Amino acid sequence: MPASLLWAVDVHGRIYSLSSAGQQWELWRDAPMEFKRVTAAQQCCWSLGCDNGIYLNVFASDVPVRYREETYENQRWNPVDGFSERLLPSDRWQWSDVTGLQHQPLHGFQLPSSSWEWEGDWYVDENFEGEPTEKEGWTYSIDFPSTYTKDKKWNSCVRRRRWIRYRRYKAMDTWAKIPSQPMSLPDPFSDISCGGWEVTEEPRGRLSLWAVSLQGKVWFREGICHHNPEGSSWEEVPLPGEVVQISCGPGDLVWAVLWEGKLIVREGITRDCPKGLSWALVEGPSPEVGASHVSVGSSVVWAVTKDNKVWFRRGVNSHNPCGSGWISMVGEMITISVGLHDQVWAVGCEDRAVYFRQGVTFSELSGKTWRAISAPRDGERSHSSASSHQSAGRYFSGEVQAQSVVSDADSDVEKGSGDGATFTSPEPFLGSSSDPPCNPAGDAPKARIPKVTSDSFISELVSDRDQAKPSKDVRVTAAVLEEEVLPIEGEESLLCTGEALPSAESRGGPGSQWSNVDLEEAQNQQIQTGAVLDSAETCSLSSVTTFTLAGEDSYGAEEPPMWAWVSGGGCSVDSSSQLNWFSSSANTTSLTQSVQSMSLSVSPAQTAAWRRQICEQLSERSRREMDDFKHYEQAIEQSVWVKKGAMQWWRDWKPHKWIDVQFAFEQFSGPDGNKDGILFIYYNYYEEKKYLHAFINEVTILVPVLNDSKHTFAIYTDERTKQRWPIRVAAATELEMYDWLALLSVSCCESRGIRGPPSKQAIWSITCKGDVFVSEPCPALEAVPYPTPCDQMFWRQVGGHLRMVECGAGIVWGVGYDHTAWVYTGGYGGGCFQGLASSTDNIYTQTDVKSVYIYENQRWNPVSGYTSRGLPTDRYMWSNASGLRECTKTSTRPPSPQWTWVSDWAVDYSVSGGTDREGWQYAADFPATFHGYKTMKDFVRRRRWARKCKLTTTGPWQEVPPIPLSDVTVLPCAAASGTIPLWAISNKGDVLCRLGVTALTPAGSSWLHVGTDQPFKSISIGAAGQVWAIARDGSAFHRGSVSPQNPAGDCWYHIPSPAKQKLKQVSVGRTSICSVDENGNLWYRQGVTPSYPQGSSWDHISNNVRKVSVGPLDQIWIIADKVQGSQSLSCGTVCHRLGVQPIEPQGQQWDYGIGGGWDHITVRGNATEPPRITLFSQKDSAPPTSHSPPPGGDAELNGLMEAAGRDAQPSTTQRL
C-alpha cells in the first residue's frame, strides 16, 4: 500500500499532513494563508481558506497532468487550386472539431486558468488509427462528413488533418486558488467535501466536490477529472433547508447537516448523475440535541451531535443511503472524518487531539477503540533544541534578561518568540522588517466567522477559550509569570509588528522556522490541552493580561497540538496497516493485530556495533573451542529424522479423487554433509498397502495450490513435469500445509546446496495465483546444441504476490495485481517461509488487491421483459464468465483463505464491448458476443459484478510509490555506466523512464515522463538502448536515440504491426526483438541492424504463446498455452526455444518446462554464457544435474487450465 496522507488543520489555521509511513506531522509552510477546512482525495487536496475561497493542491506526480487540445483543419479540392482552404458554403468550418460542428481556430484556444501552461506549439498528427500517414498528416474522403483514409484516391474531394497541442497543469504541490466565477457567487463558502471517485471511473480521476456557502446553500463543482483538476463550474443544488456542513464519501453517499440539527441524505447518485436527484430527511440521533457534524464513507455514516457525542449509523449502503438507526459510540469529539476503507479519524473534544478509530474492518465497521495520534509536528524538536535557542537569542538580543528569569529555558524562549515581541523592543524589528506591518491572515478566521454554527470550529474554539480560561489559568507558574507580564505592556501596540516579525525572519535562512506560522506553533506547544490559543487572535479578542496568562499556561514543550479539522479522504490505511503514529507507551492495552516473527524485528540492528561484536566473538569462539579439536568425537551422532502426517492425495489412477494417505518425510545427512531426504506416500490400493516415493533432491518445485476448500500443494519432479501430472497432496489445515511446504522447501534447497538469496542471474517466474518462483540457471542452460532440459530446472518460492516480475542487470522489479510497483530487496523467504527459510532482513509486508467477477444473466420474455427467469437450458442466472458454474453474490468466496473481501459487490462498467447505463450487455443468445446497447434482436443480457479482495503477505519486496504500473522493463545486460536503464508503463498508459537506478539503489529516485500521443501497454529495453513499446491500439513503436546521456531518447518511430494483428507484448534482448499479439502469435523482428534499429518485417515463430521474454544472450523463453501432458492439455507452461544461435536467432523448437498455471517468466537476468564459450566452465558445467531440477504444471493449478482449448496441438507445440 503506498504511503498516503492524512490531512489536518490546527486551531491556528495551519495545514499539516501526516504520512501513513511517517512519524510526524509535516507543516505546509508555503500555504498562502490560514485554512479552515481541508478535504482530501488520494490525488489532491481541497481546502477552504480563511478568505472563504477554495484552494486546490494537486499532488505532484512524475506523470504530469496533460490535456490534449485538438482541432481539425479541413480542406476541399477544386480544379483551380487543388486542395485549398476554400470550402463550399455548405461545408463545415475551415477549422473545426472532429464533428465539424464547432468552429475551433488555433488561436481560439486559451489556457483555462493561470495554473496551466502550454507544453509546446501546435503540430500536425501523423498517426491515423495506428498507421503512420504521409508527412503532412492529411486524411482523405469523398465528402464531409464521412470516413477518412490515409491514402489519396481519385475521388478524394476533401481532406482534413488533426492539429494537436498539449497543455500541462503546473500548480502541483502548491495551493492554487480556484478562480471565482464571473457570475460571482452570492456568498462565500463555509464548508467543502470531496469524494465520489468510486461512483465511476469515467472520466479518469473524476471527483465530486460539494461546497456549502455561508448562507447555507449547497453547490456542486462540475467537471472535475484527471485532466481538469480544477473542475469547470459551480452548480447550485436545491435544498429543503439551510445546510451548515456536508460530507461526501468515496462512493455514492452524501450527507449534510441542516442548521437545526437534522440531516439530509442525497439520493439518486449514479454514475450518470453524480450530483444526485433529491434529498431525503433523516432525524438526528437524539431528539433534544441536534447533529452538528456528519461524515460518510463508502458504507458508513458517523455523526457528532451538538453535545459532542459520537454516533454511528447502522445499515447504510448504496441501496439504502439513509441507513436504519443510530448507535451511540464512546468518546466525545468535535469533528469526524471517514476516509478510505471506511477508516475513521476524529478531533477530540477535550484535548483537540486527532484520534484514529482502531479495528475498523469490513465486517466490523464501527471499530473498537479510539486511539490518539501522538505523532509530533515537524519543527517541534528543533524548537526545543539548543540551536533554535541560540538563533532566537540572536534575534531577540534585548531579551536575555527576561529569559533568564524563566525557569524552563527552552520552552520559554519559544514562548518568548511565540508571544511576538513580548520580550523585545520593537524597533529592531520594525527596522529590519520590510513586510507590511500587519499580517491580516492571522486574525482573518475569527473576523469572518459568520455565525456560531456548530461546525464553525474555529469560532467555537474562541468561545471555548473564553470560558476555559478562568479555571485553567490558575496555575503555579504564576510567580514566574509575574515577571513576564511587564514587558507585555508593549505588546498591545506591537501586536502587528510582532506578527510581521516572523516573516522577516523567515527570510533569514536558519531562523526560518520562525515563520509566521511557526511562531504560533512554538507557543502552541506550551499550551495545555484545552487551555489554549494563539497570540494574534487572543490579543485582539481579550485583554493582554488574560492572554498572557493563557500563553504562560505552560507545561513544557511536549504538549500536544490543538487540531480543528481532519480529513482522511486520501489516507489509505486499514486495520492491518502498521502505523508509526502512536507512542508505544500509550498502547499497551491495545489489541495486537499482528504477530511479527523474530526475523522482522531486528532489521535496524543489522549494522549496530553490538551485533557485529557478537558475530565476531562467536566466530572467535568457534576458532578457540573447536578448530583444534575437530578430531574429537561428536557427542551426538546424526541420525535420520522422520516427520509424518495424515494427508490426502489426488490419486494417480482413474477415477481421480482425494484419498487419505500417510505422508512421511525422512531426512538424513548425506556423506558430503548435505542433507537429503525421501518423501513417502503410503496408500491403499484395493486393500493392498502401497507407497509412492520421491527423493528430495529430485523434486523440482513445490507449488502451493490454495483454494477455498482444500489446502493443497503440488510436488513435481522432472518426470512429472514432463507428464504435467504432479503429486498433489492436501493438508488438513492451512497451517499444516505451510509447515510442510516450508520444511520441504528448506530440505529441497539444502539437498541442492542452495542457500541465501537468488543470484543476479536468476530466472523469475510467476503463477496465475501470483506466487513468485525463482530458479538458478545452470551454465549449460543455454548451451547449443545440448542445453540442460528445462524440466530439470529447480524452482524455489519467494514470498510476495505479484502479477509480473522483470529482472536485468542485477535488479528485480515486480508489479502487483493492484498495479503497485515493487522492487526486490535482496532477501529471500517471507510469506509462509519463515524462520530458517527466510532472511532476517529485507522482508516487508506486501499487500495486493484484485477483483472477483461474477455475472448476472437475464433473458427477455414478452410478458415481463428482462427477468432473471431463464430457459431451462440457459446458464445459471448468476454465474462465472463461462456460465458453467453458479456464482451468486452470497456463495462466491474470495479465491483462497489468504484473501479477504474489502468491498461490496458493485456493477462493473469497464467490460470490453461496453455496457448500457445499468451495466448491461446484450446479445441474441448465450453464449455470444455481447455489446453495450440493446437492439431488436437481443434476447439475453448480462452484467458483470465485481468485488475487491485483498491479500496481505510478506516478502523481499519494497514498494515504489506512488505511480501504479502495468509494465516494467530493465536493461537485460550489465549497464555500461553505473545507472541501469529502467522503463515502465503506468496503469494509465504513460511511458516512464526511471532515473537513478543503480545496483545499490535498485528503486531509483524518480520517474521521467516520456511523452506519447496515445496510451501504451507494453515496453522493453534491450542492449544498446533499444527501447520498444506497444501502444494500446496494438501497434509497435521504437524509441530513437536512447543512450546513457539521453536516457529518455528523443522520439517514437511507429512500427506497423503484423498484418491484421494487434500486438500486446514485446521483449528485446541483445539483438533479438520478439513480440506477442492478441491471438497468441509470437513474432520475430527481422532486419534489425545498428544503423537501422527499426528492422524491416515481422517473422512468425509460433502460436499459442501468451508471453515472451528475450534474454541478454538473445535466448527466447515463453509462456505457452495448450501443451500436451499425460492427462490433459496444460495452459501456461514455461518453454525454452532451442537452437537459438547468431545465425539462427529464431531457433528451432521448444523445450517444455514447468507449467500448468504459469503466467509470467523473465530470463533477462541470465547472462551466463554456455560452457563452450566460458573458459572455466568445465568445472561449472559438471554439476548441472545436481543443480537444475524443476517443475511441471498440471491441469489444475487454477481454473485456468480448464479453459484450455480442445483443439489439436499446433505444430509448434510438438514435443522434443
Partner 1 sequence: MADDKDVLRDVWFGRIPTCFTLNPDEVTEREAEPYYLLLPRVSYLPLVTDKVKKHFLKVMRTEDVEEIWFEHEGTPLKWHYPIGVLFDFHASNTVLPWSITVHFKNFPDVDLLHCPSNSVVEAHFMSSIKEADALKHKSQVVNDMQKKDHKQLWMGLQNDKFDQFWAMNRKLMEYPTEEGGFRYIPFRIYQTTSDRPFIQKLFRPVSTEGNPHTLFDLLKEMCPDALTKDGEEKRFQVVIHGIEPLLETPLQWLSEHLSHPDNFLHICIIPTPTD
* CB of 458 closer than 8 Å to CB of 537: no
| From candidates 526, 599, 765, 1104, binder to partner 1 by CB under 8 A | 599
Minimum CB separation from partner 1 for residue 828, in Å?
10
What DSSP line would sit under 394-428, residue for residue?
HHTGGGHHHHHH-SSHHHHHHHHHHTSSTTS-SHH
In whole angstroms, how close is the CB of 555 to partner 1 at the nearest point? 18
Determine the interface stretch with partner 1 among 218-226, 396-404, 603-611, 1120-1128 (rule: CB under 8 A). Answer: 603-611
Distances (CA, A) of 197 to 59, 510, 1131: 16, 42, 37
Nearer to partner 1, 675 or 1187 (CB): 675
Asked whether position 620 contacts partner 1 by CB under 8 A, the answer is yes
80 versus 635: smaller Cβ distance to partner 1: 635
Three-class secondary structure of residue 894 per DSSP? coil
Report helix angle 409-418 to 544-552, nearest 10.
Answer: 150
Question: Grid cell 536493461 — which residue?
Answer: 971
Q: Site for partner 1 (CB under 8 A): which residue of 634, 709, 929, 1211?
A: 634
| Residue-level length of the chain | 1216
Three-class secondary structure of residue 864 per DSSP: coil
Residue the block writes with cell 532440459: 789
- How many CB atoms are closer than 10 A to CB 351? 17
- Backbone φ and ψ for 1148, nearest 5 degrees, come out as -120, -45
Buried b (16+ CB within 10 A) or exposed e, 1030-1054: bbebbbbbbbeebeeeebbbeebeb
Does position 479 interact with partner 1 (CB under 8 A)? The reply is: no
Choose between 179 and 556: whose C-beta lies nearer to partner 1. Answer: 556
Span from 183-191, 636-644, 718-726, 979-987 in contact with partner 1 (CB under 8 A):
636-644
Task: Give CA–CA dist 83/1177, Å, rounded.
Answer: 69
Among 835, 914, 978, 1056, binds partner 1 (CB under 8 A): 835
Q: Is 834 in the site for partner 1 (CB under 8 A)?
A: yes
Which among 526-534, 616-624, 707-715, 775-783 is the span making contact with partner 1, rule CB under 8 A?
A: 616-624
Please report how close the Cβ of residue 841 comes to partner 1 at its closest, in angstroms.
8
Q: Does 611 bind partner 1 (CB under 8 A)?
A: yes
State the residue for C-alpha cell 492427462. 1127
Site for partner 1 in 363-422 (CB under 8 A): none
User: How far apart, in whole angstroms, are the C-alpha atoms of residue 1084 and residue 1061?
Assistant: 14
Do 793 and 765 form a contact (C-beta atoms < 8 A)? no
Only segment of 164-172, 237-245, 630-638, 777-785 that touches partner 1 (CB under 8 A): 630-638
For partner 1, the closer of residues 438 and 615 by Cβ is 615
Residue 674 lies near partner 1 (rule: CB under 8 A) = no
* Region from 404-412, 606-614, 707-715, 781-789 binding partner 1, contact rule CB under 8 A: 606-614
Site string for partner 1, 801-820 (x = CB under 8 A): --------------------
Question: Could you tell me the CA-to-CA distances from 1089 to 539, 768, 1071 in Å, in that order?
Answer: 78, 36, 8
Residue closer to partner 1, measured from CB, 371 or 801? 371
641 or 685: CB nearest partner 1: 641
Q: How far is the CB of 1180 from partner 1 (least distance, A)?
A: 24
Task: State the sign of the Cα–Cα–Cα–Cα dihedral 493, 497, 499, 502.
Answer: negative
Q: How many residues bind partner 1 (CB under 8 A)?
A: 55
Among 106, 405, 447, 626, contact with partner 1 (rule: CB under 8 A): 626
Residue 600 and residue 594 in contact, taking contact as beta carbons nearer than 8 Å: no
Cell numbers at 153, concatenated = 484516391
* Three-state SS letters, 751-771: HCCCCCCCCCCCEEEEECCCC
By CB under 8 A, name the one of 478, 614, 659, 924 that touches partner 1. Answer: 614
Contact flag: residue 594 with partner 1 (CB under 8 A): yes
C-alpha to C-alpha distance for 1026 and 1042, rounded to whole angstroms: 7
Where is 745: in which H helix or E strand? Answer: helix 734-751
The residue range among 343-351, 836-844, 974-982, 1161-1169 that interacts with partner 1, by the rule CB under 8 A, is 836-844
Told to check if 639 binds partner 1 by CB under 8 A, we report yes
Q: Which is nearer to partner 1, 595 or 1143 (CB)?
A: 595
Smallest gap from residue 884 Cβ to partner 1 (A): 42
Side chain identity, residue 376 = P
| Cβ closest to partner 1, residue 479 vs residue 595 | 595
622 lies in the binding site for partner 1 (CB under 8 A): yes
C-alpha cell at 1130: 496444460
| Smallest distance from partner 1 to CB 621, Å | 5
629 makes contact with partner 1 (CB under 8 A): yes
Interface residue with partner 1, options 613, 888, 977, 1214 (CB under 8 A): 613
- Report the site for partner 1 in 729-788 (rule: CB under 8 A): 739, 742-743, 746, 756
Provide, rounded to whole angstroms, the least separation between the CB of residue 629 and partner 1: 4
Query: CB of 774: closest distance to partner 1 in angstroms?
Result: 18
Is residue 183 helix, strand or coil?
coil
Q: Cell match 451538538: residue?
A: 306
Work out whether 90 is an interface residue with partner 1 (CB under 8 A). no
Helix or strand holding residue 288 (H, E): none
The verdict on 593 binding partner 1 (CB under 8 A) reads yes
Does position 595 interact with partner 1 (CB under 8 A)? The reply is: yes
Q: Which is nearer to partner 1, 599 or 1212 (CB)?
A: 599
> From the CA atom positions of the chain, what is the Rg in Å?
34
Show the cell assigned to 40. Answer: 482530501
Per CB under 8 A, contacts with partner 1 among 839-878 are: 839-841
Task: Please report, for residues 740, 977, 981, 984, 1022, the alpha-carbon distance to residue 1043 in angstroms, rounded to integers and kept in the order given.
Answer: 49, 10, 9, 17, 12
Q: How many CB atoms lie within 10 A of CB 22?
A: 17
**Which one among 90, 110, 592, 1091 touches partner 1, defined by CB under 8 A?**
592
Q: Is 619 in the site for partner 1 (CB under 8 A)?
A: yes
CA dihedral over 477, 479, 483, 488, signed as positive or negative: positive
Interface pick for partner 1 out of 624, 657, 889, 1215 (rule CB under 8 A):
624
Q: Which region holds residue 687: left if phi is over 0, alpha if psi is between -120 and 50, else beta?
A: left
Q: Which is nearer to partner 1, 253 or 742 (CB)?
A: 742
DSSP 3-state of 593? coil
SS3 141: strand
CA-based diameter of the chain, in Å? 109
> Using CA atoms, how far apart are residues 593 and 900, in angstroms rounded to an integer?
15
- Give residues 570-589 in contact with partner 1 (rule: CB under 8 A): 578, 583-585, 587-588
Residue among 174 and 840 whose Cβ is closer to partner 1: 840
Q: How far is CA 815 from the centre of its chain?
A: 10
Q: Which is nearest to 1067 in space by CA: 1097, 1022, 1106?
A: 1022
| Beta carbon of residue 413, minimum distance to partner 1 (angstroms, whole number) | 25
- Beta bridge partners, 37, equal 48
Region binding partner 1 by CB under 8 A among candidate stretches 334-342, 477-485, 590-598, 865-873: 590-598
Of 26-34, 548-556, 622-630, 894-902, the window that binds partner 1 (rule: CB under 8 A) is: 622-630
**Cell 524443476 sits at which residue?**
1190
Q: Is 601 in the site for partner 1 (CB under 8 A)?
A: yes
Q: Does 607 bind partner 1 (CB under 8 A)?
A: no
Q: Applying CB under 8 A, which part among 188-196, 337-345, 507-515, 830-838 lies near partner 1?
A: 830-838
Residue 621 contacts partner 1 per CB under 8 A? yes
Question: Rule CB under 8 A: which residues touch partner 1?
Answer: 578, 583-585, 587-588, 590, 592-602, 605, 609-611, 613-615, 617-622, 624-626, 628-629, 632-636, 638-639, 641, 739, 742-743, 746, 756, 834-836, 839-841
